[in-house]
Amino acid sequence: MPLYNSLVRPHIEYCVQIWSPYYQKDIELVEICTAKNELKKFNLMTLEKRRQRSDLLETSKIINGCYNLQSDLFFTYDEGQRRGHSKKLYKKRSRLDLRKYVFGNQ
């Protein structure tokens, strides 16, 4: 387990927001690096779940100003919302997969 955490996982998760696969065949190719039984045995998340979690964390950090970035460059805020907080995001519709699956949907 320590070898996996220190040698394998960092290589698989490096810059995941940029190269994150969205086709099922590509996800399965990356998931070959980990066996499902081993994940359950050691109580670990799948790589796909870890990528989703990483995306949520990076989104939260950008929106809340943890980085010296303008969040408007990455995300569009929902101006029509009436309840809740002011940081609700609006997802633009896209015909092309090239724009649909990028990290910041701008």
pLDDT digits (tens, 9 = 90+) for 14-66: 776 666 777 788 777 777 766 667 777 778 788 788 888 888 888 888 888 89
pTM: 0.65
Mean pLDDT (the chain) is: 76
User: What confidence category does residue 100 fall into, taking pLDDT thresholds of 50, 70 and 90?
Assistant: low
pLDDT digits (tens, 9 = 90+) for 76-85: 777 776 677 7
- Environment class of 74 (CB within 10 Å of its CB; exposed 0-12, middle 13-18, buried 19+): middle
The pLDDT value given to residue 103: 66
